[in-house]
Structure 1
Amino acid sequence: MRTDGRQNAEVKTRTRHTRRWPASLAVVAVLILQVLVPTQINALPRWLMPVLGGLMLLPLIYMNPFHLRRDEPWLRWVELALLGVLVAANTYYLAGMIFFLNNGDANEGSVLVKSALLIWVTNVVAFAVWYWEIDRGGPFARAPEHDREVEREDLLFPQMTVDLAGWKGWLPGFTDYLYVSLTNATAFSPTDTLPLSARLKMLMGVQSAIALLTIAIIAARAVNVL
């Protein structure tokens, strides 16, 4: 017969809900950054990306504002579509920045620094949410309180490879995926967390390419100007 302590622990595990608000807050921050993109690299209206992103993010926040309680599969596809739009827009800004360097007034150092920073930060946050959404089928599939079949791992975290006290049953949160995205955009390669699936390797490759072009072309030119 189970003890009361074990029963309480089991109930606590079943009723604990994975937090959604860190990922939602990160996406909102990126949408706000779109308003700050310099006009020299953005031919689109400033309000277009924040409005489109807000419309796509609205049902996600409405259904699960703070914790993942209501499992609706279509919401995950809405999130992935939003991320695809953000990454496509960020790539468009990068292409516009490269065109600006070749054909425009490339002597405005403040514009170059601001553009490089916005593109790089958007790249980090967008891919962090993307990793969070697809690893092992998404946050709902990973969460123990939801009875869903977990897919195979896309990322191998260090906590999964060690047997240390206090780390048994560890699950990655959004902060862990944000760190993976940050290190990948900084080192242009995985550091302590390894990609296992082909889709994660492809995503990390795309993210590294965007980060490398941003730093090598835009930031380097900005340093020369300043």
Structure 2
Amino acid sequence: MTGHHPSHTNDASNPYSEARWPMAGAVLAAVVLTLVLPDDLRLGPRWVLPLVEGLLLVALIAGDPVRISRRSAALRAVAIALVSVLICGAIWSTVRLIDDLVSGGTETNSASALLQAGGSVWASTVLAFSLLYFELDSGGAAARAHHMPPTPALAFPQHMSPELNAAHWRPRYIDYLYLGLTNSTAFSPTDVMPLAPWAKIVMAVQSLVSLLVLGLIIARAVNVLA
């Protein structure tokens, strides 16, 4: 939702609203992963991305604490900005890691350092994409708490099986985290089907990124250990 709706401004009692802490925990986990990345895999100085992400997260929590239920154009803009920063950081680290794997960077000469750096980058992409799905699907968590569209961008099993009572079900962050994880390991949709064009594109990009990272890491690690 893009507009402000006074009647729902602080509707924290909405039974369909989601707790803030899972999403906030995912952002904090992404911040930690950014801090432990090697300098040449990080976008900007060590403190820049964590500071920006932390400030945006604080703004979200201050504007809509405890449960995500307030529909506001300003909060929506902050949420999209936060996800954009996370995605940019994850993609930058992925590109730098792939470049190091191809050209032979400092992290790629040690199997343990390679696995640590590669694992951090891969986990960062999973978290960033899961938050992207979380914020874009059906207008975001606050919009989903008040209304679900007849055709969502991402179709979960509950949407495709009427006997599961989908009319009274809302996807939570854990559902999007599971989507991000399975899409990064299976390199294709598993139980969640992308219906909207943007969902198909984003899931395809995540699958390709994960395939490149995991494939090159495994190949390089085998080469180092051989």
* TM-score, normalized by the shorter chain, greater than 0.5: yes
> Partner of 2:120 in structure 1?
118
Looking at structure 1, the residues matched to 70 and 43 of structure 2 have their Cα atoms a distance apart, in angstroms, of: 39
- Match in the other structure for 2:208: 209
1:69 aligns with 2:69: yes
- CA separation in 2, counterparts of 1:37 and 1:63? 31
- Post-superposition shift, 1:77? 1.9
Listed one character per residue, the Cα deviations across residues 140-179 of structure 1 (whole Å, up to 9, x for unaligned) are 2211xx3x57474101111112233666622211111111
SS in 2 for 1:171: coil
How far residue 37 of structure 1 moved from its aligned partner, in angstroms, is 0.2
How far apart in 1 are the matches of 2:43 and 2:79?
A: 25
The number of residue pairs the alignment matches comes to: 211
CA distance in 2, matches of 1:78, 1:130: 13
**Counterpart code for 2:31:** L
Which residue pairs with 2:224 in the alignment?
A: 225
Q: SS of 1:164's equivalent?
A: helix
Partner of 2:180: 181
Question: CA, structure 1 residues 194+27, in 2 after alignment: closer, same or farther (shift >3 Å)?
Answer: same
The residue aligned with 1:22 is 22
How many angstroms apart in 1 are the aligned matches of 2:96 and 2:14? 48
Q: Which residue does the alignment assign to 1:198? A: 197
| Structure 1, unpaired ranges of 5+ | 1-13
User: Taking every aligned residue pair, what percent have the same amino acid on both sides?
Assistant: 39
What's the CA shift for 1:225? 1.5
Partners of 1:69 and 1:161 in 2: how far apart?
A: 25
Contact 1:136 1:142 in 2 (8 A): yes
Which of 134, 137, 149 pairs up with 1:135?
137
The secondary structure found in structure 2 opposite 1:126 is helix
What corresponds to 2:170 in structure 1? 171
Q: What amino acid sits opposite 2:169 in the alignment?
A: W
What TM-score do the two structures reach when normalised by structure 2? 0.84
Deviations 1:71-96 (A, max 9, x none): 22221222122212222122211222
* Larger mean Cα displacement after TM superposition, 74-83 or 101-110: 101-110
Structure whose residues are more often helix by fraction: 2
Q: Which runs of structure 1 show a deviation greater than 4 angstroms over 4 or more consecutive aligned residues?
A: 165-168
Is the Cα–Cα contact under 8 Å of residues 60 and 79 in structure 1 kept in the other structure?
yes
Structure 1: how far apart are the matches of 2:148 and 2:40? 48
2:158 is matched with which residue? 159
1:107 paired residue number: 109
Q: Which runs of 5+ in 2 are unaligned?
A: 1-12
Larger of the two Rg values belongs to structure = 1
Please give the alpha-carbon distance, in whole angstroms, between the structure 2 residues aligned to 1:127 and 1:214. 15
Q: What TM-score, normalized to structure 1? A: 0.84
- Cα gap change, 1:139 to 1:112, in 2 (>3 Å): same
The answer to whether the Cα contact below 8 Å between 1:31 and 1:50 also exists between their aligned partners in 2 is yes
Match of 1:82 in 2: 82
CA RMSD of aligned residues (A): 2.2
- What SS does the aligned partner of 2:142 have? helix
Q: Show the counterpart of 1:4.
A: none
